[in-house]
Amino acid sequence: MEDILSIDPTTLSIGQRHGYLLSAIGPRPIALASTIDAEGNVNLSPYSFFNAFSTNPPILIFSPARRGRDNTTKHSYENVNEIKEVVINIVDHSMVHQMSLSSTEYPKGVNEFVKSGFTQIPSTKVRPPRVGESPVSFECIVKEVVPLGNVGASGNLVISEVIQIHIQKKFLDEQGKLDTTKLDLVGRMGGMWYCRASGSALFEVEKPGAEMGIGVDKLPSHVLASHVLTGNDLGRLGGLSDLPTEEDIIKMKEVHQFADWHGDIRDAEELRDSVHHKAKEMIESGLVKEALTLLHCI
């Protein structure tokens, strides 16, 4: 275990704790939260302690924390306690620098829509306005604010129920669903890092089907001990619902002229590695079932 740093978080400073948590828990989505105070002053601030937690009811939660340096509270937190409404605006790549500017700690009463240059559009069911540039905005009522502590850096969960959704139509596909490949969303990482969910950063992973996968534990022992096949390869093989039949294996041996191939390869280890390489190629080209059959040929 020499290569593992193992830490009791109570031994860390707030800054160190913040660093480990936020660098490890990422990318985090960003809620650009619009709120108002009792006098009607508008506030706009980004929060990456944020996610969706329920579909029915539709619940989003973000957390404006107490400031680590002086234990003061954020305007967004004060506002949702005064007026229990919020608009959570989603942030895409074209909005990153204005969003960052809106996180500036301007004095209370300063409208960060104005400071950051975002377009303020009246909401339909709540009083805080929404951000015109956002691909998607959620008008919410605040169900509950849950303080997680009363010291510096304690979070406060703002549990919000979505009552209206606004979507820019250009981000929809032909079926009227939001198209992830069009959205160009960004995520917050540790330190000053962000990431962009577009292009080659996006990939699909098929959900396990209704038929249960055989599991990695059912794969041949030489596959589990492979230096060629990765954990992802094992995950895909273990996701297949059936082991190959004897018939499949015989056919596969014929197709790959296993007898000849065997003749070319001097020892068992070499044969095993070459079969693993071939199986890996098959997995990468989507022939996972065939790869599993091949792996049963040795």
Ligand X SMILES: Cc1cc2nc3c(=O)[nH]c(=O)nc-3n(C[C@H](O)[C@H](O)[C@H](O)COP(=O)(O)O)c2cc1C
CB 160 within 8 A of CB 146: no
Give me the 29-68 binding string for ligand X, x by CB under 6 A, dash otherwise: -x------------x-xxxxx-------------xxx---
What are the C-alpha distances in Å from 36 to residues 74, 86, 140, 155? 13, 8, 13, 20
Instruction: State which residue, 111 or 123, has the beta carbon closest to ligand X.
Output: 111
For residue 171, the Cα-to-chain-centroid distance in whole angstroms is 19
Beta carbon of residue 296, minimum distance to ligand X (angstroms, whole number): 50
Beta carbon of residue 273, minimum distance to ligand X (angstroms, whole number): 46
* Nearest to 137, CA basis, from 44, 75, 22, 28: 44
Beta carbon of residue 172, minimum distance to ligand X (angstroms, whole number): 26
CB 35 within 8 A of CB 76: yes
Q: Please report whether residue 100 would count as binding ligand X according to CB under 6 A.
A: yes
CB 82 within 8 A of CB 37: yes
Q: Is 294 exposed, middle or buried (0-12, 13-18, 19+ CB in 10 A)?
A: buried
Instruction: State which residue, 64 or 135, has the beta carbon closest to ligand X.
Output: 64
Q: Please report whether residue 129 would count as binding ligand X according to CB under 6 A.
A: no
Beta carbon of residue 127, minimum distance to ligand X (angstroms, whole number): 16
CB 176 within 8 A of CB 165: no
Give me the 12-31 binding string for ligand X, x by CB under 6 A, dash otherwise: ------------------x-
CB 142 within 8 A of CB 84: yes
Which one of 100-108, 221-229, 233-241, 279-287 is the stretch in contact with ligand X (CB under 6 A)? Answer: 100-108
Query: Residue count at the site for ligand X (CB under 6 A)?
Result: 17
Instruction: State which residue, 38 or 172, has the beta carbon closest to ligand X.
Output: 38
Q: Helix 231-238 and helix 268-284: axis angle, to 10°?
A: 70
Q: Please report whether residue 276 would count as binding ligand X according to CB under 6 A.
A: no
Instruction: State which residue, 91 or 183, has the beta carbon closest to ligand X.
Output: 91
Give me the 181-220 binding string for ligand X, x by CB under 6 A, dash otherwise: -------x--------------------------------
CB 197 within 8 A of CB 28: no
Residues within the interface to ligand X (CB under 6 A) = 30, 43, 45-49, 63-65, 74-76, 100, 103, 105, 188
